[in-house]
Amino acid sequence: MIRSYAELLRLPGASAAAVPAALARLAGTMVPLALLLTAVQSGHSIAAGGGAGAAYALGGAVAGPAIGRLMDRLGPAPVLRITGPVAGLVLAAAALAADRLPTAVLLAAAAAAGLATAPVGASVRAMWGGLTEDAAMRQRAYSFEATLSELLFILGPTVVTVLGSLVGARDALLVTAALLGAGAVGYGQAAVVRRRRPQPPSAAPEGPGARRSGPGAATLSVLAAIALTAALSSALAVAVTAALRDQGSAAELAGTLVALQSAGSVVGGLVYGARSPKGSTYRRYVRLLVVLALALAVLPTVHLAHRAGLPASWTLVLLGALLLLSGLPIAPAGAEEFQLIGEMTARRKMTQAFAGVGSFIAVGAAAGSALAGLVADHLGPAAALSLPAVFTALALLVSLAARGPISAALAPEPTASHPPPAPEPSPARPATPDLGEQHP
């Protein structure tokens, strides 16, 4: 397994670009918690700190596709040389002046930093598509990306917590700002990134997606499914917190339990990416959604078992085990989502497309969290624990309903330069022209 990923990173220029990109993406996962802790330590309310993190995420979701489009049109390097330092400097200024800034200005600064943050993850996924034409290697790259994303979302808050305890929240935000800016600039300076040039629309098609000029029904269906699978993760965090509070356990354990699902996702992604799955991307994705929906559907039984008399300690153990197992298909499903978008998108628009995926993920996550809170308050923890399976089932239904458009979008385009040969004349009669078909 390690050998297969080493082979991926040995592609020319891959590791030199992937390492600084990972630092920039790690910083992106650190920003919300670093903003929260800095705001609270500077005398702002928890609501203001949480709002700052949300403003940063919203800014990134809004500006990501536009910056991705610029990266496709101009090349990533010149865009990153501007956006990386700007985003880092805005965050650093917010850290240094947090105790003197009104809450509204702090929120505006966080939003501005989000607006200036380039979608480095989207650019990296587009980069892999340009580094190799081998389908198996590309699928492995998308598995690596999905797994890395899960791992970074585990590491980011952990790094902020450690830094905050050692040097304070403000310095933790300064370190985050430095990582964000330096990582983006370092990725943009990598040779393989600097060599990327915008591809004119008249270039030869590079796959079935190259002939499409805009998002069609197939792409929108996949994006809707992606938003729904993002909603399951945010809803799960709220649902687990509600279940722990209802059974009298420490709500703080919710983070640890949800991290178990992320750990399962990392393991599942690493194993999945190291093998060569059979079948089309669409069929693999549908199968993974079925497995994921079934795994998540078991979660509400844990709360019901506690209500039936299962001790709280055993409830925690059982819930942790089920979350770990339910995480196994998440990163593989994410890898197939990236693969589907990649196959349906022209190479010249790849960064913009993957940045759009990030925006749909952000919207889905926000909606899942909000809906799970409402369901937990009005219908109880068991209903909230059912939401992740419901979201996954809806993603499955959307994907199945769009099977025709997706299959058409993934089908190879006939090449006009090689028309089919004319049929051979029948030996039973001479090949004479049909005079009725003649034109003057």
**CA neighbours closer than 13 Å in the CB half-sphere of residue 192:** 23
Q: What is the pLDDT of residue 243?
A: 84
Cα separation, 39 vs 45, whole angstroms? 7
Query: What one-character DSSP code corresponds to residue 347?
Result: G
- Single pTM value for the model: 0.76
- For the record, the structure tokens of 18 come out as 């992937």
List C-alpha distances in Å: 99 to 102, 105, 129, 426.
8, 11, 45, 89
Measure CA 227 to chain center. Answer: 9
Lowest mean pLDDT among 190-199, 213-222, 278-287: 213-222
Which among 125, 155, 81 has a CA at the least distance from the CA of 357? Answer: 125
H helix intervals, 98-214? 103-116, 120-131, 135-167, 169-189, 191-194
How many beta carbons lie within 10 A of that of residue 149, not counting itself? 21
- For the record, the structure tokens of 254 come out as 């919710």
Cα separation, 177 vs 24, whole angstroms? 9
C-alpha dihedral over 428, 429, 434, 435, to 10 degrees?
-160
Query: What's the pLDDT band for 250 if we cut at 50, 70, 90?
Result: low
Cβ-contact 27, 176 below 8 angstroms? yes
Which amino acid, 328? Answer: L
Which amino acid, 420? Answer: P
Please, which residues have CB within 8 angstroms of residue 409's CB and are 6 or more apart in sequence? 208, 209, 212, 216, 218, 219, 343, 344
Specify whether the backbone of 249 is left (phi greater than 0), alpha (psi in -120 to 50) or beta. Answer: beta
Cα separation, 4 vs 333, whole angstroms? 19
Query: What's the pLDDT band for 329 if we cut at 50, 70, 90?
Result: very high
Q: pLDDT tens digit string along 406-439?
A: 888 877 655 444 444 444 444 443 433 333 333 3
Q: How many residues does the chain have?
A: 440
Q: pLDDT tens digit string along 43-64?
A: 888 788 888 888 898 898 889 9
Cβ-contact 303, 312 below 8 angstroms? no
Please, which residues have CB within 8 angstroms of residue 360's CB and are 6 or more apart in sequence? 223, 224, 226, 227, 230
H helix intervals, 42-134? 46-74, 76-97, 103-116, 120-131
Cβ-contact 119, 61 below 8 angstroms? no
Q: What is the pLDDT of residue 393?
A: 96
Lowest mean pLDDT among 124-128, 297-301, 382-386, 436-440: 436-440
C-alpha dihedral over 209, 210, 211, 214, to 10 degrees?
70
Query: What's the pLDDT band for 251 if we cut at 50, 70, 90?
Result: low
Cα separation, 366 vs 32, whole angstroms? 14
Q: DSSP 3-state assignment of 217?
A: helix
Q: pLDDT tens digit string along 108-119?
A: 999 999 999 999
**CA neighbours closer than 13 Å in the CB half-sphere of residue 256:** 11
Q: pLDDT tens digit string along 69-127?
A: 999 899 899 999 999 999 999 999 999 999 999 999 999 999 999 999 999 988 998 88
Residue with tokens 């993850």: 121
- For the record, the structure tokens of 407 come out as 């299959």
